[in-house]
A and B are shown apart, each in its own frame.
Chain A
Amino acid sequence: MSDLRDLYQELILEHSKAPRNFRAVPDASLHAEGYNPLCGDHFTVYLQMEGDSIRDVAFQGAGCAISKASASMMTQTVKGKTKTEAEEIFHRFHELVTNQPSANGASKGDDLGKLAVFAGVRDYPVRVKCATLAWHTLHAALEGSQQPVSTE
């Protein structure tokens, strides 16, 4: 059985208490809203693009520790990345939080840097949507979606 500390890692708690890039970007070139209707989580992700690259990224809103920490660490991770690179990280992050660890014990998060702290989420299926809300919202912003994203 998983231990609580596997989910609530120090780094996650720390980011949830002091989220990075937690601000509005009034002149953002792209932004999108994301909701998690069942728990009431609600974030806006702002992007300042330079060509195909994410020059600046920030977020605002309210949510649980997992969703907030995930949003915070996402902004740190994708800053300076291209759209394609960011989407690829989202893809691997999604695999990390939804898949069971492989039989030989190797973690899929090895190449995800500090985002690997979210590996514990896979033992809590109902919390996957918390961990991915900001990423779905980022994806919607990159796609220029006008519709708010919902994880339900």
Chain B
Amino acid sequence: MSSVAKQQASAPYSQHQDTGRFDVERIRLDFPILHHPVRGKTLVYLDNAATSQKPQVVIDAIRNYYERDNANIHRGVHFLSERATEEYERARRTIQHFVNASDSREVIFTRGTTESINLVAQTYGRKNVGAGDEVLVTAMEHHSNIVPWQLLCEEKGARLRVGPIDDRGALLIEEFGKLMGPRTKLVALPHVSNALGTVNPVAELVGMAHRWNAPVLVDGAQAAPHIQIDVQALGCDFYAFSGHKVYGPTGIGILYGKGLLLDAMPPYQGGGDMISSVTFEKTSYNKLPYKFEAGTPNVAGAIGLGAALDYMNGLGIARIAAYEEEVLAYAMEAVSALPDVTVIGTAPHKAGVVSFVIEGIHPHDIGTILDQEGIAVRTGHHCAQPVMQRFNVPATVRASFAVYNTKAEVDALVAGIRKVREVFA
């Protein structure tokens, strides 16, 4: 890491933000990994939808916790346990404000989006979905918002229904509404599609589902890094996202749930911390949110996630969104303009992702050649095989963007794609 980056690390961006201009070069200094070459080339990291890189403040927060504050939480009477508990709960309040939940008890720490969805499927779902009932999802889901519902439907004899998308990758709203009815017991949908980048009109869809009294779970894994989240404005009943996609560590994520729903749900896992009293005859469960946090949680992860959201708040979510929109628009135009390249996912409202294929060249070959140029992209089905089937492609190349990406990096991607075409000429 350069000495400049070290200085930057000790003074988070938020503390010396002085102009209205979005200074991406300065932001890049906050991320040590961006300054380490790969394959002898400058890293062009365009795989942010898989995971984002971490700013120094997040790395420091985790290290500081282990160096100074480490203890188990909610248990000890001693100094360190109090401090660890305080930091863990402070992170919860940071997340509460990040999603604009009305109460911090509505924020449950999980391992990530996948566990959050499974939690709802196994608790709310098992209690409320029965034989002949229906769970409704969209055709643009990540596997993690399909399989938990499939498991539930198989167990209960319920039916999984799928709202179709159009050729641009936008949800067909009217068709989606027609699939709702008295049997619809839960609707699950992504805020932003991981394979296509489509942003769904969540508030409108929630309104439609609520007319049938169906609660809505929003998979926010790809939205949280890019757009302002307001669960009260969206009206959704559950909202899930992962820490590692918002510049935080892996192994931590959250489930937001409306207090009334969470209170009525049975616990997910049994163990320590989720109880208020245990005898061999009967256990009474702890109050929210601890009812859903059995066992010693990922304390360092929660603190790291809190630091990551503090970092994003310091930059300003609206400013992040505006800057990223500009880079995405530039990338969409540049990639679409290339001969023989087809962009998969051209919905009018998109965030973070340019997925594409090149006529006659397999995405895997494209990925290998781009990698040689130091450009990291994802190739494959992006854990969204039904999306690939919908567009009749075996796989795509996905370039996905974060706050530290630049138009110059888009130019590098375009040059890389030209190189691919030379190799296969």
Residues of A that sit less than 8 Å from B by CB: 1, 4, 7-8, 13, 38-42, 62-66, 124, 127, 130
CB of B388 within 8 A of CB of A40, answer: yes
B361 CB → nearest A CB, Å: 8
Q: In this complex, what residue of B is CB-closest to A40?
A: B394
Which residues on B sit within 8 Å (CB–CB) of A124?
368
CA distance A14 to B40 in the complex (A): 29
Which residues on A sit within 8 Å (CB–CB) of B393?
40
CB of B372 within 8 A of CB of A4, answer: yes
CB of B40 within 8 A of CB of A39, answer: no
CB of B423 within 8 A of CB of A39, answer: no
Q: In this complex, what residue of B is CB-closest to A64?
A: B362
Which residues on B sit within 8 Å (CB–CB) of A40?
380-381, 388, 393-395
Name the prevailing secondary structure of the B interface residues: mixed
CB of B364 within 8 A of CB of A130, answer: yes
CB of B394 within 8 A of CB of A41, answer: yes
Interface size on B, residues (CB 8 A): 19
CB of B380 within 8 A of CB of A65, answer: no
B264 CB → nearest A CB, Å: 39
Q: In this complex, what residue of A is CB-closest to B425?
A: A13
CA distance A1 to B394 in the complex (A): 30
B364-422 with Cβ < 8 A to chain A? 364-365, 368-369, 372, 379-381, 388, 393-395
Which 3 residue pairs spanning A and B have beta carbons closest together?
A: A40-B394, A64-B362, A64-B364
Given contacts A63-B362, A64-B362, A65-B424, contact A39 B394 (CB under 8 A): yes
Whether, in the assembled complex, B39 has its beta carbon less than 8 Å from a beta carbon of chain A, the answer is yes
Further pairs besides A8-B369, A64-B364: 4, Cβ < 8 Å: A39-B362, A63-B362, A65-B361, A66-B364
Whether, in the assembled complex, B363 has its beta carbon less than 8 Å from a beta carbon of chain A, the answer is yes
CB of B364 within 8 A of CB of A4, answer: no
Which residues on B sit within 8 Å (CB–CB) of A130?
364
Which residues on A sit within 8 Å (CB–CB) of B363?
39, 64
Which residues on A sit within 8 Å (CB–CB) of B369?
4, 8
Residues of B that sit less than 8 Å from A by CB: 39-40, 361-365, 368-369, 372, 379-381, 388, 393-395, 423-424
Which residues on B sit within 8 Å (CB–CB) of A127?
364, 368
CA distance A40 to B384 in the complex (A): 12
CB of A66 within 8 A of CB of B394, answer: no
CA distance A62 to B363 in the complex (A): 12
CA distance A39 to B39 in the complex (A): 23
Which residues on A sit within 8 Å (CB–CB) of B40?
1
CA distance A13 to B369 in the complex (A): 13
Q: In this complex, what residue of A is CB-closest to B372?
A: A4
CB of B381 within 8 A of CB of A64, answer: no
Q: Which of B39, B365, B388 has the most CB of A within 10 A?
A: B365
B75 CB → nearest A CB, Å: 42
CB of A65 within 8 A of CB of B365, answer: yes
A-B contact pairs, 21 of them (CB 8 A): A4-B369, A4-B372, A8-B365, A8-B423, A38-B380, A39-B363, A39-B364, A39-B379, A39-B380, A40-B393, A40-B394, A40-B395, A42-B394, A63-B362, A64-B362, A64-B365, A65-B362, A66-B364, A124-B368, A127-B368, A130-B364
CA distance A13 to B394 in the complex (A): 20
Which residues on A sit within 8 Å (CB–CB) of B368?
4, 7, 124, 127
CA distance A65 to B40 in the complex (A): 25
Q: In this complex, what residue of A is CB-closest to B369?
A: A4
Q: In this complex, what residue of A is CB-closest to B371?
A: A124
Q: In this complex, what residue of A is CB-closest to B363?
A: A39
CA distance A38 to B365 in the complex (A): 13
